[in-house]
Amino acid sequence: MISGGGTGGHIFPAVSIANAIRHRFPDVEILFVGAEGRMEMERVPAAGYKIVGLPVAGFDRKRLWRNFGVLLKLWKSMRRAKKILADFRPDIAVGVGGYASGPMLKAAQKAGIPTVLQEQNSYPGVTNKILAANADAICVAYPGLEKYFPADKITLTGNPVRKALFECRLLRDEAKRLLGFNPKKPLILVVGGSLGARTINNAIAEGLDRMVSAGAQVLWQTGKNYIDECNRASAGRGDVQAEAFISDMATAYTAADLIVSRAGAGTISELQLLGKAVILVPSPNVAEDHQRKNALALADRGAARMVLDADAPAKLVDEVISLLADREGRRSLERNIASMALKDADEKIVDKIVEVINKK
């Protein structure tokens, strides 16, 4: 059983783990458990797996009076989790974080079913911190998490990533040409997540003239909520392509000389494995400010540049133009971020799952 979700950052690792399990054990039965109404209820079946939903919801940390309904949903979710366990009878339950995994993993632990946690971030979420004491193993993507988890349960595995990103065999110039860009000019790839990032989009829109004047081309994933206004900002500019969503990220990553991105754990793991120079703009709208902590873990090692969301309107484009003019600075970022990469995370996590099952 694999439980978690709420965002792509939790869903992609969960599906990658499931794929690795199924590849090694073709006859395995896998059941996902997520949160009703969240994106995992669509993404997981699309990946070929069965999923059931719980009526669980995240706590509202700013408007505490709204949490009575959240507590009621939690109680209902715990009751439903017990029934799911009784019906499916898993050999092991794997939690990938997010509030969706809390009731299911807690119920599994109470029932004596072994549990493995997968923590994507450099600063753990509340759910995994609560579950850690009774977990059998904890797979992490960053060193130093002994501050939050029992040291004897931690295995450094890295984060599972989408395999398709590493199937591109094009050279950078070829990838640029395929995307409709001039192969002789630097390309900036801007990604703010599948829904987009308003602060990044506004800063890029304001700075398009300056970036193009500096010789740059821009491939701009705006998110579906911002595509119309970003299309207006880029209208008539041959060196700028605005897309609501980029489906072929493998080619986009290959083509990019410099990337501007949010600091989600999954994205960072992809950039580490690909060895890409990146300016991280951590989202301030996430639990426990974990994106800023993810970005700091790289910036402190010279593996990325960081611009805080609040500073992006004034500083982001300046940072982009500065790095465009500093080829050796970009090369240094590429070397340092690649040195942090942890390969084959999905296989290492499956190794740990098998070890725990055998031990039990």
Is residue 171 domain-shared with residue 132, that is, in the same domain? no
Is residue 125 domain-shared with residue 215, that is, in the same domain? no
Q: Which tokens in the block code for residue 56?
A: 């669980």
Residue with tokens 């070397």: 335
pTM attached to this predicted model = 0.87
Residue from 308, 298, 295, 297 nearest 332 by CA: 298
Q: Which tokens in the block code for residue 66?
A: 């709204």
Is residue 148 domain-shared with residue 212, that is, in the same domain? no
Distance of alpha carbon 212 from its chain centroid, rounded? Answer: 30
Is residue 186 domain-shared with residue 298, that is, in the same domain? yes
Is residue 197 domain-shared with residue 298, that is, in the same domain? yes
Is residue 140 domain-shared with residue 201, that is, in the same domain? no
| Domain containing residue 32: CATH number | 3.40.50.2000
The predicted pLDDT at position 75 comes to 77
Cβ-contact 253, 247 below 8 angstroms: no
- What domain range is 39 assigned to? 2-159+343-359
Q: Are strands 50-54 and 31-35 parallel, antiparallel or unpaired?
A: parallel
Strand partners, 261: 191, 280
Is residue 66 domain-shared with residue 9, that is, in the same domain? yes
* pLDDT tens, residue order, the chain (360 aa): 999 876 667 788 899 999 999 999 999 999 999 888 778 888 899 999 999 998 876 655 566 556 666 677 777 888 999 999 999 999 999 999 877 899 999 999 999 999 999 999 999 988 899 999 999 999 999 999 999 999 999 999 999 988 888 888 999 999 999 999 999 999 999 998 666 689 999 999 999 999 999 999 999 999 888 999 999 999 989 899 999 999 899 999 999 999 999 999 989 999 999 999 999 999 998 877 889 999 999 999 999 999 999 999 999 999 999 999 999 999 999 999 999 999 999 999 999 999 999 998
Is residue 177 domain-shared with residue 32, that is, in the same domain? no
Neighbour tally for 318: CB within 10 Å: 13
Is residue 169 domain-shared with residue 207, that is, in the same domain? yes
**What is the per-residue pLDDT across 171-191, written as a single tens digit (0 to 9) for each?**
999 999 999 999 999 999 999
Helix (H, G, I), strand (E, B) or coil at 119: strand
Is residue 235 domain-shared with residue 127, that is, in the same domain? no
The total number of structural domains in the chain stands at 2
The predicted pLDDT at position 301 comes to 96
Any idea what the Cα angle at residue 246 is, between residues 242 and 251, rounded to 5°?
110
Is residue 292 domain-shared with residue 203, that is, in the same domain? yes
CA distance 60 to 285: 12
**150, amino acid identity:** P
Is residue 95 domain-shared with residue 207, that is, in the same domain? no
